[in-house]
Amino acid sequence: MKRLRKLWPFAREKAPTPGVQDLTALWQRTHGHLKPLEEHLPMPPDSLSTCSFCKQPGAIALSVQVGTDGRETLTDAVVHYCPACQRYFFDPAVQANREVASQPISKINARCWFAMPTFLNIEPTTCCNFRCWYCIGRTMPQVNMKLDDYRRIFDHFPALQTIALVGEGEPLLHPDFFLMADIARDRGVRVMLTSNGSRFSDDVIRNLCESAVTYLSVSIDSVDPATFADSRPPGNLDEIWRGVERLRSYRDRHGYRYPVIGLKGTLFAHTVDQLPAIIEEGWRRGMEVYEGFQPLNPMVTYLPCYPEDKKALLASVGDVAAKIAGYSRAAEGKLESISQFCARERIEFDKSGRPNGLRPGCDEQWIYALASGDITPCCMIKEPVSPRWNLFQHPLPEILADPLYESTRFNLFNGIFPPGCAGCYKVGCR
Ligand SMILES: C[S@@+](CC[C@H](N)C(=O)[O-])C[C@H]1O[C@@H](n2cnc3c(N)ncnc32)[C@H](O)[C@@H]1O
Ligand code: SF4
Ligand code: SF4
């Protein structure tokens, strides 16, 4: 009997539920490397079910497209994966499309995410003149991206349309920032950035306009100069507001369309009620876009960089997020939302990940890379995952086709999050 079970491990299983199709062989042939992670964060109980074959609990619903013989168009469907018996199965009872549900499945597409991003967020530098207490960049090696590496990005990313020069440093401190902006512009690629607003000299303002930088947001954590300096030392809020005013005035006086100026920042329990006042002041000083505010990032990987005396602020992250959502309406009619701005400028950037209809997932429609050129799954993951994902060394189409990269996207898209995502709001919102 032992020998029999080794040859045929399901020998003692009960018969499958009638009508359920075993798609394991088809899946292995077409998507063998796309497999739910063995180790992942807990999933919502309502997205797990009992395996129709081995009757064990814990079968994971996956969002896919399926087709039947003679049918060219694939239909959105659910396929389950059972970690206990490692089968992929199709249960007609849970399918929305009744016509497909009643026929034998002969085609599967499990690559339902955004095929070819056109938006790259890459960190030009990790150096900064500020010491914000919550910034993980202050604990990272301090480096500026090399120009040769930067130039290579454009050959390696043929579909690139927009480059956000943003990371855990101050972009305007990169000694060749405007050369980088001009290289992008000459390739027909738009440039966006986020700045701490401390470097708006007359030269920088002129260069921002002449280099046609499309969008620049400034981080403002408070309307009170002392509170601002407390989270963003040695930030001088009045000087930053005056810089924003001078940029807007220079741009408009000289007839430039860009940069459009946005507002963003980080809020805490003791500052979140200032959000309507921050919006009002931003608008008064010449800002045009509401990029959005975030609470303190509660990702487990960020916690070691927070000072002990600030960690109590983590307890209010959920309340702060809810208040930000409510107060954000104060921007309506004054500042354009970042999504309206991107739609108007035809910038394909969606932070939210694509919903797959089963549960919140995460497949960013953009690529995030560190100053080293290493692509990571998102801007909150600071550890390189694979040397094969380096944008300075490898063309993006090659990286996107890498089995580990595809498998990462497959899992994130399906809301199967690796342990490194613990604390992320996308995981927490379930
Ligand atoms: C990392 S900064 C880099 C760009 C620029 N130096 C700046 O400060 O705007 C980008 C944004 O992330 C926010 N941020 C950085 N670390 C954070 C954290 N641990 N939690 C929440 N927001 C954070 C900052 O407030 C800022 O708005
Ligand atoms: S200004 Fe930006 S990069 Fe600099 S320390 Fe603050 S958050 Fe970090
Ligand atoms: S779920 Fe993970 S990959 Fe997605 S945004 Fe959150 S931390 Fe990043």
Specify whether 251 is located in the same domain as 311.
yes
* Ligand 1 pocket check for 265: Cβ under 6 Å: yes
375: which strand partners?
Answer: 369
The answer to whether position 183 is within a domain reads yes
Q: What is the Å distance from ligand 2's center to 196 Cα?
A: 7
The answer to whether position 380 is within a domain reads no
Among candidate residues 307, 323, 344, the one where a domain is terminated: 344
Specify whether 104 is located in the same domain as 123.
no
The answer to whether position 12 is within a domain reads yes
* Ligand 3 pocket check for 41: Cβ under 6 Å: no
The answer to whether position 238 is within a domain reads yes
pLDDT in tens, 17-38: 778 999 999 999 999 999 999 9
Ligand 2 atom closest to Cα of residue 170: 3
Residues lining ligand 2, Cβ inside 6 A:
128, 130-132, 135, 137-138, 168-170, 196, 232
pLDDT in tens, 105-140: 999 999 988 888 999 999 999 999 999 999 999 999
Among candidate residues 74, 109, 144, the one where a domain is terminated: 109
Question: What number of CA atoms fall less than 13 Å from residue 292's CA on the CB side?
Answer: 12
pLDDT of residue 38: 96
pLDDT of residue 15: 66
Of 125, 127, 135, which is best to mutate to test ligand 1, by the most ligand atoms within 8 angstroms of its C-beta? 135
Ligand 3 atom closest to Cα of residue 423: 7
Domain residue limits at 84: 2-109
Tell me the three-class secondary structure of 126-138, residue by residue.
CCCCCCCCCCHHH
State the ligand closest to the CA atom of 195. Answer: 1
Q: Kindly report the protein residue whose alpha carbon is nearest to atom 8 of ligand 3.
A: 378
Q: What is the Å distance from ligand 2's center to 335 Cα?
A: 24
Q: Please give the Cα distance from 150 to 99 (Å, whole number).
A: 51
Q: What is the Å distance from ligand 3's center to 137 Cα?
A: 18
Q: Please give the Cα distance from 392 to 61 (Å, whole number).
A: 36
Q: Which residue in the block uniquely carries the two structure tokens 């480096």?
A: 143
The answer to whether position 214 is within a domain reads yes
pLDDT of residue 430: 41
* Ligand 1 pocket check for 195: Cβ under 6 Å: yes
CB-neighbour burial class of residue 14 (10 A; exposed 0-12, middle 13-18, buried 19+): exposed
pLDDT of residue 8: 42
The answer to whether position 286 is within a domain reads yes
- Residues 225 and 236 sit within 8 Å (Cβ to Cβ): yes
Q: Kindly report the protein residue whose alpha carbon is nearest to atom 6 of ligand 2.
A: 132
Which ranges of the chain have pLDDT less than 50?
Answer: 1-12, 430
Specify whether 197 is located in the same domain as 151.
yes
DSSP symbols for 61-77? EEEEEEEETT--S-EEE
pLDDT of residue 357: 76
The answer to whether position 242 is within a domain reads yes
Specify whether 139 is located in the same domain as 84.
no
pLDDT of residue 370: 98
Specify whether 135 is located in the same domain as 68.
no
Q: Helix or strand or coil: residue 57? A: coil
* Ligand 3 pocket check for 381: Cβ under 6 Å: yes
State the ligand closest to the CA atom of 220. Answer: 1
Specify the CATH number for the domain of residue 161. 3.20.20.70
The answer to whether position 127 is within a domain reads yes
Alpha helices (H) in 232-337, listed in sequence order: 237-253, 275-285, 317-327
Structural domain count, the chain = 2
